Structure 1
């Protein structure tokens, strides 16, 4: 009798590891014949390095991280593919109380509106520069992260040059709230629960969220060592089915209490359930008594949240080009396009008869409202997926999109 598939995976203590954690803890992996061993890590750099040297078969990863590996942007990297997305949204941009006070003096409101918040921040930055003060320091979790690219996208769209008018530093997610409280940084972009942690401590104010910067946008993925995937196609397929069932279970509000209890355990988040409720419900405490419910704040399953859209990879690629992380060339474009693997997702899930998108790529930012789209299996709803500045990303017109982007 076979022992089943042995799979070792790394994850970071962020709520958006939930689908991977629940696959192990709630028995979805075991049901598919997978023995899943999870290792908690302290930084994204550790995850990257441990995949490269073969400690992990796969890991909870930032959406752009596998691209960075394949494009040769990391000193220690093995070719990595993305056959599954762990969810949409879940990040916020949080600032210190002092910066929030400065922003409110320039018209900011506790409404999470990216344009209003960005205009206020820009005015504050101008005022500080005129007074000869040091630039503000914002933290992101990793250079090749959705956080870095969405923070820069927001600032640039609001007329702030993120390369010159602020300083961007790298801080691991679990240290963000403490770094803000200690005055080492003025603001940060991080996944939950580390924004809500700063708000609960009384040291941070949430000014906008990923779900308002780009609705239903990609965040964490499953990054898999390509060599392992090619040698173990059945094991990978079995895991993808387990993750699919886990993601559906995580999305159901009836399971949120149980999921929060699992994530609160030692070895996972080790934070009380109440700090996790904002990401589960979309009901955020912003700081100073302000609260707001955000549509589609974080999705683990709905709106094709698990489908590894090539257009998501390609948008990340355009941002890597924009901020000088990689040169735009036909070779690099092909590497980015080949990194996300909807073909593997489809072949694993086809036997289940679930809704699968008909396309591998889509125009991003074009859906003003939730829209039914063509799919095999059951019906599928996508969107809304707008960028806050009204831009559209057509993956078939990448050269024009890159040419049209301001790098500052």
Structure 2
């Protein structure tokens, strides 16, 4: 019997396995009619999943934890029986701010390479100090959601220079689809988001990629396929079939010869609606940096391989620690166990055995 599933997603390259499953036949091969529903923000996806307008959703891994723990005003217990990717983020600043950071870094003759996160963080600290001394408003940086690895990457990067996100630098939440325009308009000075929005900012001539996510945190837990926690337990057949379809898509997407076709699928108007050649370059890890620098090859810029899909309970440990550093929670008794329980590797391991 064919099962129909509605799965929400945002227009990001890390939705690639869902798109491949739906549009390249992998879901059909597992007895699924997979309907992908495009959305505009992570809060929308969370809320629609919670009220059962969706069966499952492309979800920020930290948002699934926050919703489960009831942090941030919404309690919506979730479970992730499979991840969709690791990595895929970057920190982008406006072209003007990039030039200012480069000048600040050049003043540090000992190690003025802006590609070093420590150097760039110290350059940011200099810029923050100069603006404060001159009476200029603080810089504004954005992430796509408060409970996101993007927020934590920004916090951890800035902390290397002694800069506090939300205190020394203003913080805003800007959905991925709005990041480039927010940078263009001057509403924000920089952002951390997933592909392809950093690359689009470079292509539009309004931004320069300062750091790729892998420069700041290797194998960063990024997107999960989230279900309501009770549905994972009562709809095991649907969960297993979709997991299998995504693993099939991962094996297909792992072959370089299939990247042009995957890029074409992602580029369609109902998916990302962006140039296929731009998406293919991201899949290849060929990252246009902007700021007058050459294209940079980045190994593991975004990972869709089978090992990356295992929902490791240990991911929750890093995420909880990052939430605490960001001031989003105070650790409590039992919190770690509840957070680790969001990631459900048992069914994933059984499927591969």
State the TM bucket, normalised to the shorter chain: over 0.9
Give the distance between the partners of 1:297 and 1:334, measured in 2 at CA: 30
Cα RMSD (Å) of the superposition?
1.5
The counterpart of 2:222, out of the listed 219, 224, 228, is 219
Give the distance between the partners of 2:255 and 2:117, measured in 1 at CA: 29
Partner of 2:287: 284
Give the distance between the partners of 2:281 and 2:89, measured in 1 at CA: 11
Is 1:91–2:95 an aligned residue pair? no
The counterpart of 1:55, out of the listed 50, 53, 56, is 53
Give the distance between the partners of 1:214 and 1:78, measured in 2 at CA: 28
Partner of 1:399: none
Q: Is the 8 A contact 2:90 2:211 kept in 1?
A: yes
The counterpart of 1:37, out of the listed 25, 35, 38, is 35
Partner of 2:109: none
Give the distance between the partners of 1:33 and 1:215, measured in 2 at CA: 35
Name whichever of 86-95 and 312-321 sits farther off. 312-321
CA shift at 1:317, angstroms? 1.0
Is 1:298–2:302 an aligned residue pair? yes
Map 1:324-343; keep pairs closer than 5 Å: 324-343=327-346
- Three-state SS of the structure 1 residue aligned to 2:191 is strand
The counterpart of 2:186, out of the listed 183, 187, 194, is 183
1:263/1:110 Cα in 2 relative to 1: closer, same or farther (>3 Å)? farther
Is 1:114–2:127 an aligned residue pair? no
Partner of 1:6: 4
Is 1:238–2:236 an aligned residue pair? no
CA shift at 1:225, angstroms? 1.0
Q: Which runs of 5+ in 2 are unaligned?
A: 107-111
- Three-state SS of the structure 2 residue aligned to 1:309 is coil
CA shift at 1:76, angstroms? 4.1
CA shift at 1:164, angstroms? 1.3
Give the distance between the partners of 1:309 and 1:204, measured in 2 at CA: 34
CA shift at 1:110, angstroms? 7.6
Map 1:4-403; keep pairs closer than 5 Å: 4-107=2-105, 112-290=115-293, 291-301=295-305, 304-350=307-353
- Three-state SS of the structure 2 residue aligned to 1:61 is strand
- Three-state SS of the structure 1 residue aligned to 2:245 is helix
Q: Which consecutive aligned stretches of 4+ in structure 1 deviate over 4 angstroms post-superposition?
A: 108-111
CA shift at 1:115, angstroms? 1.7
CA shift at 1:267, angstroms? 0.9
Partner of 1:405: none
Name whichever of 51-60 and 324-333 sits farther off. 324-333
Name whichever of 94-103 and 273-282 sits farther off. 273-282
1:89/1:57 Cα in 2 relative to 1: closer, same or farther (>3 Å)? same
1:112/1:251 Cα in 2 relative to 1: closer, same or farther (>3 Å)? farther
Give the distance between the partners of 1:168 and 1:83, measured in 2 at CA: 32
State the TM-score, normalizing by the size of structure 2: 0.95
Give the distance between the partners of 2:190 and 2:291, measured in 1 at CA: 16
Give the distance between the partners of 1:218 and 1:242, measured in 2 at CA: 21
Q: Is the 8 A contact 1:32 1:238 kept in 2?
A: yes
Give the distance between the partners of 2:268 and 2:236, measured in 1 at CA: 32
1:164/1:74 Cα in 2 relative to 1: closer, same or farther (>3 Å)? closer
1:238/1:6 Cα in 2 relative to 1: closer, same or farther (>3 Å)? same
Q: Deviations over 1:18-76 (max 9, x none)?
A: 01111111111111111111100010010011011111111111110110111102444
- Three-state SS of the structure 1 residue aligned to 2:80 is strand
- Three-state SS of the structure 2 residue aligned to 1:324 is coil
CA shift at 1:318, angstroms? 1.2
CA shift at 1:154, angstroms? 1.0
- Larger relative CO (CA 8 A, sep 6+): 1 or 2? 2
Q: Which runs of 5+ in 1 are unaligned?
A: 351-408
Q: Is the 8 A contact 1:52 1:76 kept in 2?
A: no
CA shift at 1:107, angstroms? 1.6
Give the distance between the partners of 1:348 and 1:34, measured in 2 at CA: 17
